[in-house]
Amino acid sequence: MFVSVNKLKSFRPVLPIGMVTVATQVRAAGHDVHVLDLMWEEEDEKAVREAVAAFRPDVVGISIRNVDSQNMLEPVIYTPLAREVADWARAERPGVTVVLGGPGFSTVPDDLMDFVGAEYGITGFAEESMVPFLAHLHRGTEPADVPGVIFRVPDGSYHRRDPVFEIDYRKAARPDPELYDPRYFTYSYETHDRSEKVPATIQTKKGCVLECVFCSNFLVDGTGVKFDDVKRVADEVERLRDEGLEVLEIVDGVFNLPLNYAVEVLREFVRRGIEMPWSCMINPGNVTPELVDLMVRTGCYYVEFGTDSCNDRVLRRLKKNFRQRQIISAHRQFEQAGIRVEHCLFIGSPGDDRDSVRETFDVMSGLVPPGAPEAHAYWTLGLRVCRGTALHTTAVEEGLLTGDERFIVPKYYVSRDVIEDSALLDEIQERVLANDNWYLWWGLRTIGLRERIRMARQESERIEAELLAHLPERRPAPLPAALTTRGEEGR
Ligand code: B12
């Protein structure tokens, strides 16, 4: 039995594609599979207990997509539900084996193992791991050689096998849409000015070529990129379309990197006459007229830019592959093509100060003015710090963090030049509120930014104390060998 513990509907509900991919694979290998998605359940305990009692699973796989909100102004942790699910399942069926997985799990495996008290965890892609893992459990042998596996050994430490960030797409089952809760497809969510359907999802590749200093995606997908075959990707989209799914989202961390592969995927769509409304995440550094043209011709209606900042010095510090000039040019190309753009930006990156924040705001005022709803700017104050990232090193060097963080506890980096500048914080609040197409925090009209920062800090301390009370003292484990090149740089 698989359980998805992601209940986040704000922003928008997302299909549990990871869990359904693994569940499909496991079912294809001959196991009886039941899937429970808590997104739609009002009474989680009842839903879990009833499902466990009815299905009587030997193994409960808990899919942990999100660890926390990654929002300093709205600190929320999502992991306590995983712990409760494990407890409810065990109470209903003593002796059941609990295994954790999912992108959130891969970012903080040891802490989550401790916190949930799970028997096993699997980091990285589970397409190649879950079936051999279950075969071990069935035979009663120890799954010590399964890629990405983690479990406790008698001396209290963990046995860990590094994940193999490789995937044979020819063998990997495509996620079966039948395993999604049908309520996703009847639900609509409100954006700034319209009502939207939850899109079907497809992933065309795993991983990313960039090494942005804050990004923890390398812990989920490894370093480098693993490409699916463009024909298989197009087959999958045709299948989804033929099954009646009306809107599509490509969930690659960045769709247009590398550019030639994205172009190949879209050319294949054009060759087959695929045209349906779709969206994706875009890197502003790699936008060409051909890419935009293919996107328009295949029905793309919305893109999310990982813009981060509009100041070149800050972009360089973040190790971004683009500069302000490219942000503007990419934005204008999409605008002219009639594709909606949402910029995601940080306030308080390493190197950010009054001038760079103002410059970013000025550029955004030009690209995302008030009143014109075809573009939006989504601001985030501070950056969530993750293990193995260069941002962690910077935060420690600057004395903002100590270096022995438990990464299950959300910690944020905000440059001192921003967070300690009260006048700048007031100016940020004023400018965000003056633009109906900008978003920073929903309560800003009633609670000022400086006050909110103070309140959120208190809230974070409470969350931290709650989490740490459930965790044994333990130094963070070293990064897997496959990630040490990147990790060395990060430490
Ligand atoms: C695409 C994406 C989005 C899109 C989603 C679009 C959509 N329609 O699905 C958007 C932009 C909307 C989004 C939003 C958010 N996201 Co996001 N997103 C991603 C991204 C890039 C890919 C996720 C994905 O779909 N992967 C494809 C599937 C096939 O892979 P998978 O889920 O990892 O599953 C595999 C394994 O994890 C494993 N697995 C999965 N389940 C299970 C279960 C078991 C038992 C086992 C053994 C294995 C297993 O096997 C699967 C197959 O290989 C990841 C980063 C990344 N590279 O993974 C971040 C990521 C998941 N997001 C993250 C976050 C934080 C968010 C937000 C909370 C951000 C915010 N502040 O709003 C929101 C939450 C939205 C929500 N409602 O849940 C974090 C979560 C970690 C954390 N610290 O909490 C990630 C990891 C990014 C990061 N590195 O920080 N996101």
Whether pLDDT at 183 is above 90: yes
Whether pLDDT at 476 is above 80: no
Q: What is the pLDDT of residues 15-59, one digit of tens each?
A: 999 999 999 999 999 999 999 999 999 999 999 999 999 999 999
In this structure, the number of other CB atoms found within 10 A of the CB of residue 217 comes to: 19
Q: What is the mean pLDDT of residues 187-203?
A: 83
Which pLDDT value is given to residue 486? 59
Which pLDDT value is given to residue 250? 98
- CA 16–ligand 1 middle distance (angstroms): 9
Which of 150, 220, 221, 249 is the best mutation target for the ligand 1 pocket, counting ligand atoms within 8 Å of the beta carbon and taking the most?
220
Whether pLDDT at 277 is above 70: yes
Confidence of residue 265 (pLDDT cuts 50, 70, 90): very high
Q: What is the pLDDT of residues 147-168, one digit of tens each?
A: 999 999 988 889 999 998 989 8
CA torsion angle 149 154 155 157 (round to 10)? 20
- CA 18–ligand 1 middle distance (angstroms): 8
Q: b/e for 176-202, b at 16 or more Cβ within 10 A?
A: bbebbbeebbebeeeeeeeeebbbbbb
Which protein residue has the closest C-alpha to ligand 1 atom 40? Answer: 102
Which protein residue has the closest C-alpha to ligand 1 atom 24? Answer: 251
Domain architecture of the chain: domains with CATH = 2-160 (3.40.50.280), 200-490 (3.80.30.20)
Which pLDDT value is given to residue 164? 86
Q: What is the DSSP string of 89-142?
A: HHHHSTT-EEEEESHHHHHSHHHHHHHHT-SEEE-S--TTTHHHHHHHHHHT--
Confidence of residue 491 (pLDDT cuts 50, 70, 90): very low
Which pLDDT value is given to residue 490? 36
Which protein residue has the closest C-alpha to ligand 1 atom 79? Answer: 66
Whether pLDDT at 484 is above 70: no
Q: What is the mean pLDDT of residues 446-473?
A: 94
The binding-site residues of ligand 1, defined as CB within 6 angstroms of any ligand atom, are 6, 8, 11, 13-15, 17-19, 21-22, 61-63, 65-71, 99, 101-104, 106-107, 122, 125-127, 130, 199, 201, 203, 216-217, 220-221, 249, 251, 253
- CA 104–ligand 1 middle distance (angstroms): 7
Whether pLDDT at 132 is above 60: yes
Which protein residue has the closest C-alpha to ligand 1 atom 78? Answer: 8
- DSSP-assigned letter for residue 68: B
Which of 3, 5, 14, 386 is the best mutation target for the ligand 1 pocket, counting ligand atoms within 8 Å of the beta carbon and taking the most?
14
- CA 463–ligand 1 middle distance (angstroms): 22
Residues 6 or more apart whose CB falls under 8 angstroms from that of 221 comprise 124, 125, 165, 206, 207, 208, 253
Q: What is the pLDDT of residues 303-351, one digit of tens each?
A: 999 999 999 999 999 999 999 999 999 999 999 999 999 999 999 999 9
Nearest CA among 79, 74, 9 for reference residue 41: 9
- CA 32–ligand 1 middle distance (angstroms): 26
Confidence of residue 482 (pLDDT cuts 50, 70, 90): low
Q: What is the pLDDT of residues 363-392, one digit of tens each?
A: 999 999 999 888 999 999 999 999 999 999
Q: What is the pLDDT of residues 67-122, one digit of tens each?
A: 999 999 999 999 999 999 999 999 999 999 999 999 999 999 999 999 999 999 99
Whether pLDDT at 138 is above 80: yes
Average pLDDT score, the chain: 94
Confidence of residue 189 (pLDDT cuts 50, 70, 90): confident
Ligand 1 nearest-atom number relative to CA 251: 1
- CA 219–ligand 1 middle distance (angstroms): 12
- CA 181–ligand 1 middle distance (angstroms): 18
Q: Which residue has the higher pLDDT, 195 or 283?
A: 283
Q: Among residues of the chain, what percentage have pLDDT more than 70?
A: 97
